Chain A
Amino acid sequence: MEATQYVSPMNGQLTAPLAAVGRRVIDFAAAFGRFGGFTVSVARATPDLRTWGGLVAGSMKRLGVESLPIALFIAAFTGIVLALQASYTFTGAVPLYFVGVLVGKTMILELGPVLTGLALAGRVGANIAAEIGTMRVTEQVDALETLAYDPIAYLVVPRVIAGTLMFPVVVAFADAIGIVAGWITALNLLEMSTPEFLRGLRLFFEPFDVRYSLIKAASFGATVTALGCYFGYTTSGGAAAVGRSTTQAVVVSSMLILVLDAFWAVTLL
């Protein structure tokens, strides 16, 4: 005779949330593992200079130079707002030349790299994920394979190298433009003089600040391009899948930029 197992009607209700959490954890671990495998493939393809060597300059132009307008636009307005908010906060309590301190430090250490990183996660990350995702679903990636090209070496390596090299360049320009915008604002709207602003700018300036800004930018560049390539490369399906990959690339890149931002602050400051 078959034994009947008693199942409490509450069992499902109690375990369902746990099961959902468990599934999420497993999905996350699996995704992490897949990205780890992808990273190993990229490392393995990197010595194939013959395939990607001639493609880096074009990628640097597309990912870096063509991103300058949006990055500089954001930086200019950030510099203006920083100067005005600093003046608003300091009035009557702190000498006005501290506006230069706040604009310089904040642009270089935080807002220059992070805002540029987030903007480029949208522009560059989405662009890469959509481009490679479309190539995947239209079998262009398979076509590369049949023509004896390693798709990772051809599509991924040049983009990741270009992103890692060009994000610091874009961020350096953004830092500079943000400070210049803050300085022009201080001169015209806050009735500060140039020597006053420069005095504040120099007061706590450390060359390390610039290195810190550029290291962060390079790590953001590597992250945004690698994730864009990963989500594009692993796209399967049709147009909807390309859209999903693009969204995931932007969302995950943006989150990781903020995580990396905190990581560098903890480890380097």
Chain B
Amino acid sequence: MSIRLEGVYKAFEGSRVLDGVSLEVNEGETLAVIGASGSGKSVLLKTIVRLLEPDAGAITVDEEDVLALTREELYELRRRVGFVFQFAALFDSMSVFDNVAMGLRRMRSLTEAEIVTRVQECLQRVDMSGYEARMPGQLSGGQRKRVGLARAIATRPKYLLYDEPTTGLDPITISVIDALVIRMAEDLAVTSVVVTHDMQSAYRVADRIAMLYRGKIRFSGTPDEIRAAEDPIVRGFIEGSPELAQESA
């Protein structure tokens, strides 16, 4: 077991977003977490690395109790967990090179020459070689996401958490990003959690799909299993039919 959430609760100003979520992510798999906008998918992802503190529940990564970690231990954990943000969250005052190098400069073990080599290697993996000197403002949405992915893999993490990696992209760029997610899982042997509301992306990249609905995991299974699911809420979401979901709500 690599990542496990048990009975995780999180509320914002009285509104409960996560209502006792329990979820397991197995080593080496790519899990897609699907759900409507505002269903708490990103909140769920952020609680794993404590970017948001859950109100209650337990979270373990590699059998480590994430909620009990000291600040230093938490930073140590975060070096093993790459996070790809919805809109890339590149540091706009820094070049592409410096963005990717940022996490590496935090590691005392690397020389500047090794950092340069690692940055070039990561940019090559996401097909962004030659963009080192560009500023984030000079990149397209897809390019920004690829640089965000390069930054996330630079420290050679064991886990990759993707927060809506294809939001706001055109269909071709979505396919490119999906292909990168699959490539990262295969080449780097990482365990991935992909939060998305795009079913086509989920089918393409995931070994398993979990659906978050009203703060709980409503369904968990393989892409074939979710296609065959009879739960009207699940069917309503994957088919984009609000009537189905409303009838059973």
Contacts and interface: CB of A to CB of B under 8 A. Distances in A.
Interface of A: 135, 138-140, 142-143, 145-150
A148 B89 contact: no
Given A142-B46, A142-B51, A142-B89, A147 B71 contact: no
Contact of B78 (A135, A139, A140, A148): A148
24 contacts: A138-B92, A139-B85, A140-B89, A140-B90, A140-B91, A140-B92, A142-B46, A142-B83, A142-B85, A143-B83, A143-B89, A143-B91, A145-B49, A145-B51, A145-B78, A146-B51, A146-B82, A147-B78, A147-B102, A148-B76, A148-B78, A148-B106, A150-B71, A150-B75
A149 B89 contact: no
Given A139-B87, A140-B89, A142-B51, A147 B81 contact: no
Interface string B30-42: 0000000000000
A145 B50 CA distance: 9
Contacts of A148: 75-76, 78-79, 103, 106
Nearest to A145: B51
Given A138-B89, A140-B92, A146-B51, 4 more contacts: A142-B89, A146-B49, A147-B102, A148-B78
B165 to A, nearest CB: 14
Chain B interface category by residue count: 20 to 34
B175 interface: no
A138 B51 contact: no
Contacts of A143: 83, 85, 89-91, 151
A147 B103 contact: yes
A136 to B, nearest CB: 11
A114 B89 CA distance: 38
Contacts of B79: 148
B95 interface: no
Interface of B: 46, 49, 51, 71, 75-76, 78-79, 81-83, 85-87, 89-92, 102-103, 106, 151-152, 155
What 9 pairs between A and B have smallest CB-CB spacing? A139-B89, A148-B75, A146-B83, A147-B103, A143-B89, A139-B85, A148-B106, A142-B51, A148-B78
Nearest to B148: A143
B86 A139 contact: yes
Nearest to B85: A139
A147 B106 contact: yes
B211 to A, nearest CB: 24
Contacts of A138: 87, 89, 92
B90 to A, nearest CB: 8
Nearest to B157: A146
B81 A146 contact: yes
A44 to B, nearest CB: 9
Contacts of B71: 150
The residue among B51, B86, B89, B155 with the most chain A CB atoms within 10 A of its own CB is B89
A81 to B, nearest CB: 39
Nearest to B99: A143
A140 B82 CA distance: 14
Nearest to B79: A148
A81 B103 CA distance: 53
A36 to B, nearest CB: 19
A136 B7 CA distance: 29
Contacts of B152: 146
A143 B86 CA distance: 11
Contacts of B83: 142-143, 146
A142 B92 CA distance: 14
A150 B71 CA distance: 9
A188 to B, nearest CB: 45
A143 B147 CA distance: 13
A138 B88 CA distance: 9
Nearest to A142: B51
A102 to B, nearest CB: 45
Nearest to A147: B103
Nearest to B93: A131
B10 to A, nearest CB: 15
Nearest to B82: A146
Contacts of B102: 147, 149
Contacts of B85: 139, 142-143
A142 B87 CA distance: 12
A138 B106 CA distance: 22
B49 to A, nearest CB: 6
The residue among A135, A139, A147 with the most chain B CB atoms within 10 A of its own CB is A147
